[in-house]
Structure 1
Amino acid sequence: MSKPVILCVDDEKVILDSLKIQLKKEFQDSYLYEAAESADEALEIIEELQEDNINILVIVSDWLMPGMKGDEFLIEVHKRFPNIVKIMLTGQADKKAIEKAEKYANLYSCLHKPWNSEELINQIKSGLGELS
Protein backbone atom coordinates (compact mmCIF):
# COMPACT_ATOMS: atom_id res chain seq x y z
CA MET A 1 0.00 0.00 0.00
CA SER A 2 1.20 3.47 -0.85
CA LYS A 3 2.10 6.12 1.70
CA PRO A 4 -0.49 8.77 2.58
CA VAL A 5 -0.20 12.22 1.02
CA ILE A 6 0.21 15.80 2.15
CA LEU A 7 -1.03 18.08 -0.63
CA CYS A 8 0.14 21.70 -0.95
CA VAL A 9 -1.79 24.14 -3.15
CA ASP A 10 -0.44 27.58 -4.08
CA ASP A 11 -0.16 29.50 -7.33
CA GLU A 12 3.45 30.46 -6.54
CA LYS A 13 5.92 27.68 -7.34
CA VAL A 14 8.53 29.11 -4.95
CA ILE A 15 6.04 28.71 -2.07
CA LEU A 16 5.28 25.11 -3.08
CA ASP A 17 8.99 24.30 -3.27
CA SER A 18 9.58 25.85 0.14
CA LEU A 19 6.68 23.93 1.70
CA LYS A 20 7.88 20.63 0.24
CA ILE A 21 11.41 21.22 1.59
CA GLN A 22 10.07 21.99 5.07
CA LEU A 23 7.72 18.99 5.07
CA LYS A 24 10.36 16.55 3.80
CA LYS A 25 12.86 17.86 6.35
CA GLU A 26 10.39 17.21 9.19
CA PHE A 27 8.51 14.09 8.09
CA GLN A 28 11.16 12.65 5.73
CA ASP A 29 9.74 9.70 3.81
CA SER A 30 6.71 9.07 6.07
CA TYR A 31 4.44 10.68 3.46
CA LEU A 32 4.23 11.48 -0.22
CA TYR A 33 4.21 15.21 -0.99
CA GLU A 34 2.08 16.48 -3.84
CA ALA A 35 1.84 20.05 -5.11
CA ALA A 36 -0.70 21.89 -7.25
CA GLU A 37 -0.56 25.42 -8.63
CA SER A 38 -4.36 25.88 -8.68
CA ALA A 39 -7.49 24.55 -7.05
CA ASP A 40 -8.50 22.87 -10.32
CA GLU A 41 -5.15 21.08 -10.55
CA ALA A 42 -5.46 20.06 -6.90
CA LEU A 43 -8.92 18.58 -7.49
CA GLU A 44 -7.51 16.54 -10.39
CA ILE A 45 -4.70 15.24 -8.18
CA ILE A 46 -7.20 14.37 -5.43
CA GLU A 47 -9.33 12.40 -7.93
CA GLU A 48 -6.29 10.51 -9.25
CA LEU A 49 -5.11 9.64 -5.75
CA GLN A 50 -8.60 8.48 -4.75
CA GLU A 51 -8.76 6.24 -7.83
CA ASP A 52 -5.47 4.70 -6.74
CA ASN A 53 -6.77 4.30 -3.15
CA ILE A 54 -4.14 6.66 -1.78
CA ASN A 55 -5.21 8.66 1.28
CA ILE A 56 -4.72 12.39 1.49
CA LEU A 57 -4.29 13.28 5.12
CA VAL A 58 -3.58 17.02 4.96
CA ILE A 59 -4.12 19.85 2.48
CA VAL A 60 -2.22 23.11 2.94
CA SER A 61 -3.84 25.66 0.64
CA ASP A 62 -3.32 29.29 -0.27
CA TRP A 63 -6.40 31.50 -0.43
CA LEU A 64 -5.74 33.96 -3.26
CA MET A 65 -5.32 31.90 -6.41
CA PRO A 66 -6.52 32.35 -9.99
CA GLY A 67 -9.85 30.69 -10.64
CA MET A 68 -11.21 29.17 -7.44
CA LYS A 69 -10.25 30.83 -4.15
CA GLY A 70 -8.87 28.72 -1.32
CA ASP A 71 -12.00 28.86 0.83
CA GLU A 72 -14.18 27.62 -2.05
CA PHE A 73 -11.63 24.89 -2.85
CA LEU A 74 -11.50 23.66 0.74
CA ILE A 75 -15.30 23.68 0.99
CA GLU A 76 -15.47 21.56 -2.17
CA VAL A 77 -12.87 19.15 -0.76
CA HIS A 78 -14.72 18.94 2.55
CA LYS A 79 -18.00 17.99 0.84
CA ARG A 80 -16.33 14.99 -0.76
CA PHE A 81 -13.61 14.13 1.75
CA PRO A 82 -14.57 15.45 5.19
CA ASN A 83 -11.74 13.67 7.02
CA ILE A 84 -8.89 15.52 5.31
CA VAL A 85 -7.20 18.03 7.62
CA LYS A 86 -7.46 21.43 5.94
CA ILE A 87 -4.99 24.24 6.66
CA MET A 88 -5.10 27.62 4.93
CA LEU A 89 -1.79 29.42 4.43
CA THR A 90 -2.45 32.93 3.24
CA GLY A 91 -1.17 36.43 2.99
CA GLN A 92 -4.43 37.94 1.84
CA ALA A 93 -7.54 36.08 3.01
CA ASP A 94 -10.03 38.34 4.70
CA LYS A 95 -11.75 37.44 7.94
CA LYS A 96 -14.98 36.58 6.12
CA ALA A 97 -13.25 34.01 3.87
CA ILE A 98 -11.53 32.41 6.85
CA GLU A 99 -14.79 32.21 8.80
CA LYS A 100 -16.52 30.71 5.76
CA ALA A 101 -13.81 28.03 5.49
CA GLU A 102 -14.05 27.33 9.23
CA LYS A 103 -17.82 26.93 9.03
CA TYR A 104 -18.23 25.05 5.74
CA ALA A 105 -14.88 23.29 5.26
CA ASN A 106 -14.06 22.45 8.87
CA LEU A 107 -10.86 24.48 8.46
CA TYR A 108 -8.38 23.15 10.98
CA SER A 109 -6.06 26.12 11.04
CA CYS A 110 -5.21 29.35 9.24
CA LEU A 111 -1.63 30.56 9.13
CA HIS A 112 -0.48 33.81 7.60
CA LYS A 113 2.39 34.37 5.18
CA PRO A 114 5.22 34.68 5.77
CA TRP A 115 4.68 31.61 7.90
CA ASN A 116 6.75 30.21 10.71
CA SER A 117 7.93 26.75 9.68
CA GLU A 118 7.74 25.39 13.22
CA GLU A 119 4.17 26.66 13.62
CA LEU A 120 3.14 25.05 10.32
CA ILE A 121 4.73 21.71 11.26
CA ASN A 122 3.07 21.83 14.70
CA GLN A 123 -0.35 22.49 13.13
CA ILE A 124 0.11 19.59 10.71
CA LYS A 125 1.20 17.26 13.52
CA SER A 126 -1.72 18.37 15.65
CA GLY A 127 -4.15 17.81 12.78
CA LEU A 128 -2.68 14.38 12.07
CA GLY A 129 -3.03 13.54 15.75
CA GLU A 130 -6.76 14.16 15.53
CA LEU A 131 -7.04 11.66 12.66
CA SER A 132 -5.76 8.78 14.75
Structure 2
Amino acid sequence: MRNRADRIRHVIGFEVIGLLLFVPLARLAFGFSVGELGVLAVGISIIATVWNYVYNVGFDHLLARWKKRVNKTPVERVMHAIGFEGGLLMVSLPLVAWWLKVGLWDAFIMDLGFAAFYLVYAFIYNWVYDKVFPLPVWKAA
Protein backbone atom coordinates (compact mmCIF):
# COMPACT_ATOMS: atom_id res chain seq x y z
CA MET A 1 0.00 0.00 0.00
CA ARG A 2 0.99 3.60 -0.38
CA ASN A 3 2.62 5.40 2.53
CA ARG A 4 1.40 8.67 4.04
CA ALA A 5 3.89 10.89 2.14
CA ASP A 6 2.89 9.31 -1.18
CA ARG A 7 -0.81 9.80 -0.41
CA ILE A 8 -0.22 13.45 0.52
CA ARG A 9 1.71 14.02 -2.75
CA HIS A 10 -1.16 12.34 -4.61
CA VAL A 11 -3.86 14.50 -3.01
CA ILE A 12 -2.00 17.79 -3.39
CA GLY A 13 -1.18 17.09 -7.04
CA PHE A 14 -4.76 16.08 -7.73
CA GLU A 15 -6.23 19.24 -6.22
CA VAL A 16 -3.73 21.74 -7.66
CA ILE A 17 -3.89 20.39 -11.21
CA GLY A 18 -7.67 20.01 -10.93
CA LEU A 19 -8.14 23.65 -9.87
CA LEU A 20 -5.89 24.93 -12.64
CA LEU A 21 -8.01 23.06 -15.20
CA PHE A 22 -11.44 23.44 -13.61
CA VAL A 23 -11.80 27.16 -12.80
CA PRO A 24 -11.24 28.46 -16.35
CA LEU A 25 -13.47 25.74 -17.83
CA ALA A 26 -16.25 26.45 -15.30
CA ARG A 27 -16.00 30.17 -16.05
CA LEU A 28 -16.62 29.43 -19.72
CA ALA A 29 -19.42 26.95 -19.01
CA PHE A 30 -21.39 28.84 -16.34
CA GLY A 31 -20.47 32.50 -16.73
CA PHE A 32 -19.68 33.24 -13.08
CA SER A 33 -16.59 35.29 -12.33
CA VAL A 34 -13.25 33.62 -11.79
CA GLY A 35 -13.31 35.08 -8.26
CA GLU A 36 -16.67 33.52 -7.38
CA LEU A 37 -15.74 30.18 -8.90
CA GLY A 38 -12.19 30.30 -7.59
CA VAL A 39 -13.24 30.78 -3.96
CA LEU A 40 -15.91 28.10 -4.29
CA ALA A 41 -13.49 25.72 -6.00
CA VAL A 42 -10.85 26.24 -3.31
CA GLY A 43 -13.44 25.60 -0.57
CA ILE A 44 -14.64 22.43 -2.25
CA SER A 45 -11.02 21.51 -2.93
CA ILE A 46 -10.21 21.65 0.79
CA ILE A 47 -13.20 19.42 1.52
CA ALA A 48 -12.24 17.16 -1.38
CA THR A 49 -8.64 16.93 -0.19
CA VAL A 50 -9.69 15.50 3.15
CA TRP A 51 -12.29 13.27 1.48
CA ASN A 52 -9.71 12.15 -1.12
CA TYR A 53 -7.27 11.00 1.55
CA VAL A 54 -9.89 9.23 3.66
CA TYR A 55 -11.66 7.68 0.65
CA ASN A 56 -8.46 6.39 -0.97
CA VAL A 57 -7.19 4.83 2.25
CA GLY A 58 -10.58 3.17 2.80
CA PHE A 59 -10.89 2.01 -0.81
CA ASP A 60 -7.38 0.52 -0.78
CA HIS A 61 -8.02 -1.26 2.52
CA LEU A 62 -11.28 -2.73 1.21
CA LEU A 63 -9.62 -3.79 -2.03
CA ALA A 64 -6.73 -5.38 -0.15
CA ARG A 65 -9.12 -7.17 2.18
CA TRP A 66 -11.58 -8.42 -0.46
CA LYS A 67 -9.27 -8.95 -3.45
CA LYS A 68 -5.90 -9.41 -1.67
CA ARG A 69 -4.36 -6.67 -3.88
CA VAL A 70 -4.37 -2.88 -4.24
CA ASN A 71 -3.83 -2.50 -7.99
CA LYS A 72 -7.14 -1.61 -9.62
CA THR A 73 -8.73 -3.07 -12.72
CA PRO A 74 -10.37 -0.62 -15.17
CA VAL A 75 -13.82 -1.48 -13.74
CA GLU A 76 -12.55 -0.90 -10.19
CA ARG A 77 -11.09 2.44 -11.30
CA VAL A 78 -14.52 3.47 -12.61
CA MET A 79 -16.16 2.36 -9.34
CA HIS A 80 -13.46 4.22 -7.40
CA ALA A 81 -14.07 7.47 -9.32
CA ILE A 82 -17.88 7.23 -9.09
CA GLY A 83 -17.76 6.57 -5.35
CA PHE A 84 -15.43 9.47 -4.74
CA GLU A 85 -17.51 11.93 -6.77
CA GLY A 86 -20.80 10.68 -5.32
CA GLY A 87 -19.61 11.28 -1.77
CA LEU A 88 -18.29 14.71 -2.63
CA LEU A 89 -21.53 15.64 -4.44
CA MET A 90 -23.53 15.13 -1.25
CA VAL A 91 -21.44 17.78 0.52
CA SER A 92 -20.88 20.20 -2.34
CA LEU A 93 -24.48 20.59 -3.55
CA PRO A 94 -25.70 22.82 -0.68
CA LEU A 95 -22.40 24.70 -0.71
CA VAL A 96 -22.68 25.51 -4.44
CA ALA A 97 -26.31 26.65 -4.05
CA TRP A 98 -25.47 28.92 -1.12
CA TRP A 99 -22.27 30.43 -2.52
CA LEU A 100 -23.54 31.13 -6.03
CA LYS A 101 -27.00 32.15 -4.77
CA VAL A 102 -28.81 29.70 -7.04
CA GLY A 103 -31.56 27.19 -6.39
CA LEU A 104 -30.85 23.59 -5.55
CA TRP A 105 -31.84 22.44 -9.04
CA ASP A 106 -29.41 24.89 -10.71
CA ALA A 107 -26.74 23.92 -8.19
CA PHE A 108 -27.43 20.26 -8.96
CA ILE A 109 -27.02 20.84 -12.71
CA MET A 110 -23.78 22.76 -12.10
CA ASP A 111 -22.60 20.12 -9.65
CA LEU A 112 -23.26 17.45 -12.29
CA GLY A 113 -20.97 19.41 -14.60
CA PHE A 114 -18.37 19.66 -11.84
CA ALA A 115 -18.73 15.96 -11.07
CA ALA A 116 -18.52 14.99 -14.75
CA PHE A 117 -15.31 16.96 -15.13
CA TYR A 118 -13.79 15.52 -11.96
CA LEU A 119 -15.03 12.01 -12.71
CA VAL A 120 -13.07 11.94 -15.96
CA TYR A 121 -10.18 13.86 -14.41
CA ALA A 122 -9.99 11.51 -11.38
CA PHE A 123 -9.92 8.44 -13.61
CA ILE A 124 -7.12 9.86 -15.77
CA TYR A 125 -5.15 11.41 -12.92
CA ASN A 126 -5.17 8.25 -10.80
CA TRP A 127 -4.21 6.06 -13.72
CA VAL A 128 -1.33 8.37 -14.69
CA TYR A 129 -0.28 8.72 -11.04
CA ASP A 130 -0.06 4.94 -10.69
CA LYS A 131 2.11 4.80 -13.82
CA VAL A 132 4.40 7.66 -12.75
CA PHE A 133 4.61 6.58 -9.09
CA PRO A 134 4.13 2.80 -9.09
CA LEU A 135 4.29 0.81 -5.92
CA PRO A 136 7.58 -1.11 -5.55
CA VAL A 137 5.74 -4.44 -5.97
CA TRP A 138 4.36 -3.20 -9.34
CA LYS A 139 7.88 -2.32 -10.54
CA ALA A 140 9.04 -5.87 -9.81
CA ALA A 141 6.17 -7.34 -11.83
Give the TM-score of the pair, scaled to structure 2. 0.29
Q: Which has the higher strand share?
A: 1
The structure whose residues are more often helix, as a share, is 2
Which has more radius of gyration? 2
